[in-house]
Amino acid sequence: MKVLVAGAGGFIGGHLVKKLKSDGHELICVDIKPLEYWFQLDDNNQNYSLDLKEYENCQKIFNNKIDYVFNMACNMGGMGFIENNKAECMLSVLINTNLLRACKEKKIKKYLFSSSACVYNASKQKDTFIPGLKEEDAYPAMPEDGYGWEKLFSERMCRHFYEDFGVDVRIVRYHNVYGPMGTFDGGREKAPAALCRKVINAKINNENEVEVWGDGEQTRSFMFIDDCIKGTLKIFESDYRDVFNVGSDEQVSINQMLDKIENISNYKFKRKYLLDKPKGVRGRSSDNTFIKSKINWAPSISLEEGLKKTYSWIEEEIKLKKNIKKFSKF
C-alpha cells in the first residue's frame, strides 16, 4: 500500500515510518521541519518539508495516489513546552482538519489520528497513584489546557467525519511515549529523556546534584516506543473505530523513575526539587482493559528495560556531541 505519514520527521512518526517501510509499504513522508532536522530520514521514501496547516499543501500531497493516512503531526513537547505554548499547540487542529478534508475528497481507505492522554478530565488526576484512566474518563471534558483541548476536539472531528462522510477513522491516545531517536534536550523533551540527560551530564561532569521539576511525587506511566508502534498498528489493522488507550499501566512516581535511572547509571546524586516549574496533573496512568478485551494488546517492555535502552542511546549521543565540540577547536 501507499501510506502517507504526517509528522514523519518526529519521534513516533520516524519509528512508524521505519516499521511500515520494513513491512513493504511505499511511504510518502511529510513534516514541517526541514529534512536535516528529521529524527530519522530514509532517502528511499518520498520526503516533503511542508506545513500541513495550509490546505494547499495537503492538496499537493494528495495528488499522489494514497491508500492510508497516519496523522502523527502536532506541535508538542514536554510539560514545560505544553504549558507555555497553548495557542501554538492548538493550531495543530488545522492539520487534522485539512487531512480529514483531503481524505474525504480522495476517498482514502483508512485514517489514523494520534491523540494523547492529555485529553483526560483533570479532576480525575489530582492524586498520586490514581486508578488507570479509562477511555470514557475523557468526559465530562476538562482536558489539559491548549494541547489537550486540541486533541479532544480533533478526536470529535474524526468521529463526525466518519458519521457524516464515511471516512474510516482510527484513534489512539498515547500515554508518555519514550525511547531512543527522540528529543532529549532543548525544552521539548519528556521526563524519561530529560532525567536521563541530567543524570548523564552530572556523571560526566562529576556533579552531585540533579534538578527535578516538582516534588518528584507526581506519577505517570511511560510506554516504550516499540510497544507504541505495535499497539498503533494493531489498532489500525482492526475493525474498531473506538478510541483506544495506547499506554503502559506500570504507574511510577518521578522519584521512583529516578531511582531506576540512578541504578542504570551506577551513579549516586542528590535531588534538587524545583517547585516553581510546570508539573502537569498530579497522577496519570493508562487503564488497558478495553484494548485488551477488543484486540488483545498490552505493552510488553518494562520501564526498567526501556530506560536502559533510552539511557544508553542518550549517553552515546551526548558523548558524541562532546567529542565533536572537542575536535572542532583544532
Q: pLDDT, tens digit, for every residue of 252-309? A: 999 999 999 999 999 999 999 999 998 889 999 999 999 999 999 999 999 999 999 9
Q: Give the pLDDT mean for 143-156.
A: 96
pLDDT tens-digit readout, 183-233: 999 888 999 999 999 999 999 999 999 999 999 999 999 999 999 999 999
- Do residues 133 and 188 both lie within one domain? no
Burial 242-266 (b: 16+ CB within 10 A, else e): ebbbbbbbbbbbbbebbebbbebbe
94's grid cell: 488545522
Q: For all residues of the chain together, what is the average pLDDT?
A: 95
CA-to-CA separations, 112 to 86, 99, 156, 167, in angstroms, rounded: 24, 10, 13, 10
Q: Which residues are catalytic?
A: 147
Number of residues that make up the chain:
330
Distance CA 3, CA 232 (A): 14
Distance CA 49, CA 51 (A): 7
Residues 6 or more apart whose Cβ sits within 8 Å of residue 26: 1, 2, 3
For the chain, the domain total comes to 2
Residue 296 lies in a domain: no
Residue 103 lies in a domain: yes
Which pLDDT does position 244 carry in this prediction?
Answer: 98
- Do residues 240 and 309 both lie within one domain? no
- The upper half-sphere exposure of residue 64, i.e. CA atoms within 13 Å in the direction of its Cβ, equals 21
- Do residues 212 and 240 both lie within one domain? no
pTM above 0.75, yes or no: yes
Distance CA 237, CA 112 (A): 10
Q: Are strands 46-49 and 26-31 parallel, antiparallel or unpaired?
A: parallel
User: What is the domain extent for residue 100?
Assistant: 2-177+223-246
Q: What is the CATH number of the domain that holds 260?
A: 3.90.25.10
